[in-house]
Amino acid sequence: MIDSILDKMTLEEQVSLLSGADFWTTVPVERLGVPKIKVTDGPNGARGAGSLVAGVKATCFPVAIALGASWNPSLVKQMGVALARQAKSKGAAVLLAPTVNIHRSGLNGRNFECYSEDPMLTAELAVAYIEGVQGEGIAATIKHFAGNESEIERQTMSSDIDERTLREIYLPPFEQAVRRAGVMAVMSSYNRLNGSYTSEHHWLLTKVLREEWGFDGIVMSDWFGSHSTAETINAGLDLEMPGPARDRGEKLVAAAREGKVEAAAVRAAARRMLLLLERVGAFKSRPDLTERAIDLPEDRALIRRLGAEGAVLLKNDSILPLAKTSLDRIAVIGPNAASARVMGGGSAQIAAHYTVSPLEGIRAALSNANSISHVVGCRHNRLIDVFKGKIAVEYFKGRGCKGDPLHAEIVDKGEFFWFELPSGELDPADFSARMTMQFVPEEGGEHVFGMTNAGLARLFVDGELTVDGREGWTRGENYFGTANDEQRGTVTLEAGKAYEITVEYEPSTASEEGINLIAVRFGVEKPLGEADIEAAVETSRNADVALLFVGRDGEWDTEGLDLPDMRLPGPQEELIEKVAAVNANTVVVLQTGGPIEMPWLGKVRAVLQMWYPGQELGNAVADVLFGDAEPGGRLPQTFPKALTDNSAITGDPAVYPGQDGHVRYAEGVFVGYRHHDTRAVEPLFPFGFGLGYTRFRWSEPLLSANEMSSEGVIVSVDVTNIGDRPGSELVQLYTSSPKAKVERPDKELRAFAKLSLQPGETGTATLKITPRDLAYFDIETGAFRAEAGNYQLVVAANAADIRFVIDLASPSSYLLPTSY
């Protein structure tokens, strides 16, 4: 059928398939019955085509690093199935996920959106995720291909990575997604790879992806991530996103007629687009693009389970789990206690059906809610707290909010990121909006108003201009680098008095260069100070336990910028130190998208890392704290003692964050634990680390053979739960290789198994390795080489907790081509 349609298509019609129609849909060819389909973000939900921060509600699942911490592919596959349902509820046929870039450093703004520092763990979870999604008829899109491990100058930066490092660290998750999961779509990254944009990188998109790995799906650009006409199509980029066409359309038709692009290349790309439509069933049943909100009890239960499964207990000095019946006074402290930090920032954001804060979860878990005292203590927000409450919004044709409004609505949050305006009569390049609201401060004194805008905006308090986001506007770090840095103004307000807040917004002028988005965010807060920290200290002083909820949020862990350091932002470290000084039973619950330094670690009884676990955050936290669920997580990324212990942080700006448009991956394959183990750099917490509430006994491993063969070797380890609680244990298998002509890591993860066991129960971890698992990539031969010799199999609970070391002979050498 596909070839029959292609034969009837004109060149112009074939070309039309190779660009989006708009931000989220493809172009139909009605004459030939070719429908359009919708794509949607993102990794931890299905947002649909509305606003990045509003629109139709969606189910919010845990972020990728929390899934990485679960080490549980079967549960991640269940999440993939649920996400496919969510995508269908938004009328989408393609989910723009998963993200499989590697945790090169602890500072990447999208660290939270990626699974792990290890390619094997990343690949296993990605394959499971894709199988879950695609098994329900929705296409998955693995991204960002390749070398997008930082957000700094990401749209132009060249990631300079040698081929061995690419083949061993950064490409394997993509390779496994193609070979094992049959992923239907790949998204090219923004950055350049060794000097060439990935969207026009022939070696990457054609030689490796299609010819070596056998990929037959589509390659789409990241949004506004393609920069040329002939170069992209000749390299293997099928779909330019978003639409309408910028470098395709008439330009591509002309390039084909002039011989710069072969007609066969256009037809091949169009064929792949039609094949995608066929694979998602678009020809059999015309897609219904209607968006609906579905909030299912089984999804709620899965999110809650995933939250506990990915929770990593980093320290426990005989205090957790807490006994519900023996706690008369609980102090719940910190900026993340009453606020539900459920996801990171950027394109992964969705409008969640609901969120449960830790404070709400704890209150729901305890029968005596009166025993709980809450004080925020301090703030850590990068941006002023967003305005929440009734906001009247009026939309006008043209600039200046003149005449009668064309559309009016009521919203409840002072953040707008429009992909689609509420009326088709509004021109995204030539409209204006006025937002009006009342603000009644609970306390008198100085209040800070803040606003950031992609476009031009002004904020007035009772008619007085307070924040000017118009005069002198320049691009900053917000909204993917399309908005200004937050502008602020201070006003002294009276408690209980109503103030009228007005914001007037219009888009930037079309003459401005780069990507232009339309967005504005505004808020107000009363600054906190030492008195608020002291209030938290006094509340904690006589409590039976002080629960400190600290970390970051989606303003820090976000697409579009990297973190400035690995410390807790704001005065949170001071808060921890002072609370711990007056309460010996201080438990710290962390929410971050990656590692942090912990100078206060020795002063607290317990530390629990919760990441951003989705809309059931508070319930999952309470489950773990009170022992209704096991803290099942193990670290998917090494936590260094200090930022400078990371292999990418050398002090040389050319290595990180980049210099003169290039970032050089000088550490090569020595990423994460490979660096810490090989260079003897002791971490704060090693890769794979995590405590539980029970104890296990491991039996001696058994091997299916003492020598490697082409069929591989199976290692079996019996594990028994010898405690009195159910729990899970992680068994990791690393390989350690003999000296080769290249330097190799001390050990490399090659297999793992997570066992969930009842008290007294024994389970078997079955771990298989093959010759490829003994190999390194040999640049000279362009193949994976496993030399003959004696290897070691390292059976471990984490990278620093080695239980058994087994000798394994490989009597033969293996040269494994990249195509097989």
- Name the CA dihedral angle for 300, 303, 308, 310, rounded to a multiple of 10 degrees: 180
Pair 599, 558: CB distance under 8 Å: no
Q: Taking the CA atoms of the chain, what radius of gyration do you get in angstroms?
A: 27
DSSP-assigned letter for residue 324: G
DSSP 3-state helix, strand, coil percentages of the chain (rounded to 5)? 25, 30, 50
**Alpha carbons within 13 A on the beta-carbon side of 105:** 30
Nearest-angstrom CA–CA distance, 727 and 128: 23
In degrees, rounded to 5, the angle at the alpha carbon of residue 62 between the alpha carbons of residues 100 and 209 is 15
3-state secondary structure of 609: strand
Instruction: Write the Ramachandran bin of 208: left for phi over 0, alpha for psi from -120 to 50, otherwise beta.
Output: alpha
CA distances, 815 to each of 87, 528, 780 (Å)? 42, 63, 12
Structure tokens at 813: 């050498």
Q: Which amino acid is present at 731? A: V
Nearest-angstrom CA–CA distance, 540 and 401: 51
DSSP-assigned letter for residue 412: E
- Strands annotated E in 365-406: 372-375, 388-397
- Strands annotated E in 455-494: 456-461, 464-469, 487-493
H or E stretch covering 15: helix 11-16
Instruction: For the chain, give the longest Cα–Cα distance.
Output: 84
Tell me how far apart the terminal alpha carbons of the chain are, to the nearest angstrom: 30
Q: What is the number of H-type helices and E-type strands within the chain?
A: 17, 36
Please provide residue 310's backbone torsions phi and psi, each rounded to the nearest 5 degrees: -100, 0
**Alpha carbons within 13 A on the beta-carbon side of 729:** 28
Nearest-angstrom CA–CA distance, 749 and 545: 39
Q: How many CB atoms are closer than 10 A to CB 251?
A: 15
The secondary structure of 551-589 as a DSSP string is E--TTTSBTT---S-SSPSTTHHHHHHHHHHH-S-EEEE
Structure tokens at 455: 């476009």
Structure tokens at 446: 């100085």
Nearest-angstrom CA–CA distance, 198 and 192: 5
CA distances, 729 to each of 608, 695, 750, 803 (Å)? 17, 9, 17, 13
The secondary structure of 214-271 as a DSSP string is ---SEEEPPTT----SHHHHHHT--BBSSSS-SSSTHHHHHHHHTTSS-HHHHHHHHH
Pair 443, 522: CB distance under 8 Å: no
Pair 200, 194: CB distance under 8 Å: no
Residue 436 β-bridge partners: 392, 502
Pair 505, 456: CB distance under 8 Å: yes
Active site residues: 222
Pair 122, 169: CB distance under 8 Å: no
Edge-first strand order for the sheet with 783-786 is 776-778, 783-786, 814-817
Chain-centre distance for alpha carbon 606: 26
Structure tokens at 55: 């629109």
Please provide residue 813's backbone torsions phi and psi, each rounded to the nearest 5 degrees: -90, 150
